[in-house]
A and B are shown apart, each in its own frame.
Chain A
Amino acid sequence: MQRQLTSWKGGMMRSRGSYQQQQQRGFFFNVDWAIVFVYLALCTIGLLNIHSAMYDEKHPSFFDLSTDYGKQFIYIIVGSVVAIFILLLESRFFSALAPVFYGITVVLLMLVLVVGRNVGGNQAWISLGGGFRLQPSELAKLTTCLLLARYLNGTNIRITDPKSFMISLAIIGFPMLLIMLQPDAGSTLVFSSLIFVLYREGLSPYFLILEGLFITLFVLTLKVNNIAYIIGALLAIGIIILLLFRRNRKLMPIILAGLGICIAFVLSVNFIYSKVLKPHQKVRIDIVLGITTDIKGKGYNVNQSKIAIGSGKLWGRGYMQGTQTKYSFVPEQGTDFIFCTVGEEWGFAGATVVLGLYLFLLLRIIRIAERQRSTFTRVYAYGIASVIFFHVIINIGMTIGIVPSIGIPLPLISYGGSSLLSFTIMLFILVKLDSNRMGIV
Chain B
Amino acid sequence: MNSFFERRYIIAGVFITLILILLARLFYIQIIDDRYLLYAQSNVLRKVYKNPARGPILDRNKKILVQNEAFYDIMVTPNLVKPFDTASFCKLLGIDTAEFHKRFEKAIKYSPRLQSVFEKQLSAQAFAAIQERLSEFPGFDSSPRYLRTYPDSVAAQFLGYISEVTDKDIKKSGGYYHPGDFIGVTGVERSYEDVLRGRRGVENDLVDSRSRFKGHYANGAYDTAQVAGQRLISSLDLRIQKLGEQLMMNKVGSIVAIEPSTGEILCYVSSPTYNPNLLVGHERGNNAAELYKDPYKPLFVRPIQATYPPGSSFKPLSALIAMQEGIITPQTTYNCPGYYWSGNHRVNCFHGEVHGVVNLASAVAESCNGYFSWVFDRLMNYYGAKQTASTFTNWRGNVAKFGLGSRLGLDMPSEGKGNLPTAAHYDKIYHTGGWRSSTVVSLAIGQGELLATPLQLANIEATIANHGFYYKPHLIKGIGDKEIIKPEYRVKNYVGIDSQYFEPVINGMQAVVDRGTAAGSRIPGIVMCGKTGTAQNNHGEDHSVFVAYAPRENPKIAIAVIVENSGQGATWAAPIASFIVEKYLRDSITSRPNGITPDYIMKANRLPALENYYQGPKLKLPSKDTAKHKADSADKKAATGAGRKKNKNKYATAAYQLERRDDEEQR
Contacts of B41 in A (CB 8 A): 311, 323
Whether A323 contacts B40 by the Cβ 8 Å rule is yes
Whether A329 contacts B209 by the Cβ 8 Å rule is yes
Give 1 or 0 for each of B1-39: 1 = CB within 8 Å of chain A CB. 111110110111011101101110111011101011101
Whether A307 contacts B30 by the Cβ 8 Å rule is no
Contacts of B44 in A (CB 8 A): 323-324, 327, 329
Whether A327 contacts B206 by the Cβ 8 Å rule is yes
Closest to B7 in A: A200
Given A201-B4, A400-B22, A324 and B31 touching (CB < 8 A)? no
Whether A309 contacts B26 by the Cβ 8 Å rule is yes
B181 at the interface (CB under 8 A from A): no
Distance in angstroms from B4 CB to nearest chain A CB is 5
Contacts of A347 in B (CB 8 A): 30
Contacts of A189 in B (CB 8 A): none
Residue of A201, A310, A343 near B33 (CB, 8 A) is A310
Contacts of A375 in B (CB 8 A): 2
A196 and B4 alpha carbons, distance in the complex (Å):
12
A108 at the interface (CB under 8 A from B): no
Contacts of A355 in B (CB 8 A): 19, 22-23, 26
Closest to A303 in B: B39
Whether B214 contacts A327 by the Cβ 8 Å rule is yes
A213 at the interface (CB under 8 A from B): no
Given A196-B11, A201-B4, A311 and B39 touching (CB < 8 A)? yes
* Segment with Cβ contacts to B, from A134-142, A390-398, A424-432: A390-398
A393 and B206 alpha carbons, distance in the complex (Å):
33
Whether B30 contacts A309 by the Cβ 8 Å rule is yes
Whether A327 contacts B30 by the Cβ 8 Å rule is no
A396 and B15 alpha carbons, distance in the complex (Å):
14
Closest to B5 in A: A370
Whether A366 contacts B8 by the Cβ 8 Å rule is yes
A314 at the interface (CB under 8 A from B): yes
A224 at the interface (CB under 8 A from B): no
Given A196-B11, A327-B214, A352 and B23 touching (CB < 8 A)? yes
B207 at the interface (CB under 8 A from A): yes
A355 and B30 alpha carbons, distance in the complex (Å):
15
Whether A307 contacts B19 by the Cβ 8 Å rule is no
Contacts of B35 in A (CB 8 A): 310
Closest to B9 in A: A366
A396 and B18 alpha carbons, distance in the complex (Å):
11
B208 at the interface (CB under 8 A from A): yes
Question: Using a Cβ–Cβ cut-off of 8 Å, how many residues does chain B contribute to the interface with A?
Answer: 39
A1 at the interface (CB under 8 A from B): yes
A326 and B37 alpha carbons, distance in the complex (Å):
15
Whether B29 contacts A309 by the Cβ 8 Å rule is yes
A347 and B14 alpha carbons, distance in the complex (Å):
25
Give 1 or 0 for each of A314-346: 1 = CB within 8 Å of chain B CB. 100000000110111100000000000001100
Whether B37 contacts A313 by the Cβ 8 Å rule is yes
A311 and B34 alpha carbons, distance in the complex (Å):
8
Residue of A4, A306, A359, A369 near B36 (CB, 8 A) is A306
Contacts of B68 in A (CB 8 A): none
Interface of B is mostly: helix
Contacts of A178 in B (CB 8 A): none
Whether A310 contacts B209 by the Cβ 8 Å rule is no
Give 1 or 0 for each of A386-407: 1 = CB within 8 Å of chain B CB. 0001001100110010100000
Residue of B3, B18, B31, B43 near A307 (CB, 8 A) is B43
Distance in angstroms from A337 CB to nearest chain B CB is 13
Distance in angstroms from B36 CB to nearest chain A CB is 2
Whether B29 contacts A400 by the Cβ 8 Å rule is yes
Most buried by B among A314, A327, A351, A392: A327
A202 and B7 alpha carbons, distance in the complex (Å):
9
Contacts of A362 in B (CB 8 A): 12, 15
Closest to B4 in A: A202
A424 and B16 alpha carbons, distance in the complex (Å):
23
A416 at the interface (CB under 8 A from B): no
Residue of B4, B30, B210 near A351 (CB, 8 A) is B30
Contacts of B209 in A (CB 8 A): 304, 327-329
Whether A310 contacts B29 by the Cβ 8 Å rule is yes
Contacts of A382 in B (CB 8 A): 11
Whether B208 contacts A199 by the Cβ 8 Å rule is no
Give 1 or 0 for each of B267-303: 1 = CB within 8 Å of chain A CB. 0000000000000000000000000000000000000
A4 and B214 alpha carbons, distance in the complex (Å):
61
A359 and B13 alpha carbons, distance in the complex (Å):
11
Whether A327 contacts B208 by the Cβ 8 Å rule is yes
A308 at the interface (CB under 8 A from B): yes
Closest to B35 in A: A310
Closest to A396 in B: B22
Closest to A331 in B: B209
Closest to A358 in B: B19
Give 1 or 0 for each of A232-248: 1 = CB within 8 Å of chain B CB. 00000000000000000
Residue of A205, A307, A308, A389 near B15 (CB, 8 A) is A389
Whether A306 contacts B29 by the Cβ 8 Å rule is yes
Closest to B211 in A: A327
Contacts of B15 in A (CB 8 A): 359, 362-363, 366, 385, 389
Residue of B1, B31, B210 near A348 (CB, 8 A) is B31
A363 and B8 alpha carbons, distance in the complex (Å):
10
Contacts of A199 in B (CB 8 A): 7, 10-11
Contacts of A311 in B (CB 8 A): 36-37, 39-41
A299 at the interface (CB under 8 A from B): no
Whether A392 contacts B19 by the Cβ 8 Å rule is yes
Distance in angstroms from A358 CB to nearest chain B CB is 7
Whether B22 contacts A200 by the Cβ 8 Å rule is no
Distance in angstroms from A67 CB to nearest chain B CB is 18
A362 and B16 alpha carbons, distance in the complex (Å):
9
A178 and B306 alpha carbons, distance in the complex (Å):
91
Distance in angstroms from A53 CB to nearest chain B CB is 13
Distance in angstroms from A164 CB to nearest chain B CB is 14
A312 at the interface (CB under 8 A from B): yes
A382 and B5 alpha carbons, distance in the complex (Å):
12
Given A343-B30, A359-B19, A324 and B8 touching (CB < 8 A)? no
A397 and B37 alpha carbons, distance in the complex (Å):
20
Distance in angstroms from B210 CB to nearest chain A CB is 8
Distance in angstroms from B20 CB to nearest chain A CB is 9
Contacts of A307 in B (CB 8 A): 36, 39-40, 43
Given A307-B43, A323-B44, A370 and B8 touching (CB < 8 A)? yes
Given A200-B4, A202-B4, A307-B43, A328 and B12 touching (CB < 8 A)? no
Given A311-B36, A311-B37, A323 and B30 touching (CB < 8 A)? no
Contacts of A385 in B (CB 8 A): 11, 15
Whether B12 contacts A366 by the Cβ 8 Å rule is yes
Whether A313 contacts B30 by the Cβ 8 Å rule is yes
Closest to A315 in B: B30
Closest to A386 in B: B11
A397 and B29 alpha carbons, distance in the complex (Å):
12
Contacts of B5 in A (CB 8 A): 370
Distance in angstroms from B37 CB to nearest chain A CB is 4
Distance in angstroms from A333 CB to nearest chain B CB is 11
Closest to B210 in A: A328
Distance in angstroms from A340 CB to nearest chain B CB is 11
Residues of B within 8 A of A (CB): 1-5, 7-8, 10-12, 14-16, 18-19, 21-23, 25-27, 29-31, 33, 35-37, 39-41, 43-44, 206-210, 214
Q: A310-B39, A351-B26, A351-B30 are in contact. List 15 more A-B contacts (CB 8 A).
A: A309-B29, A310-B30, A310-B35, A311-B36, A323-B206, A326-B214, A327-B43, A327-B207, A328-B208, A329-B40, A352-B26, A359-B16, A385-B15, A392-B19, A397-B22
The 10 closest A-B pairs by CB, nearest first: A310-B36, A311-B40, A327-B208, A310-B29, A348-B30, A323-B44, A311-B37, A307-B39, A329-B209, A328-B209
Q: Can you list 21 A-B contacts (CB < 8 A)?
A: A1-B1, A200-B11, A307-B39, A309-B29, A310-B39, A311-B36, A311-B37, A326-B214, A327-B207, A329-B40, A329-B44, A329-B209, A343-B30, A348-B27, A359-B15, A359-B19, A363-B15, A366-B15, A393-B19, A400-B25, A402-B22
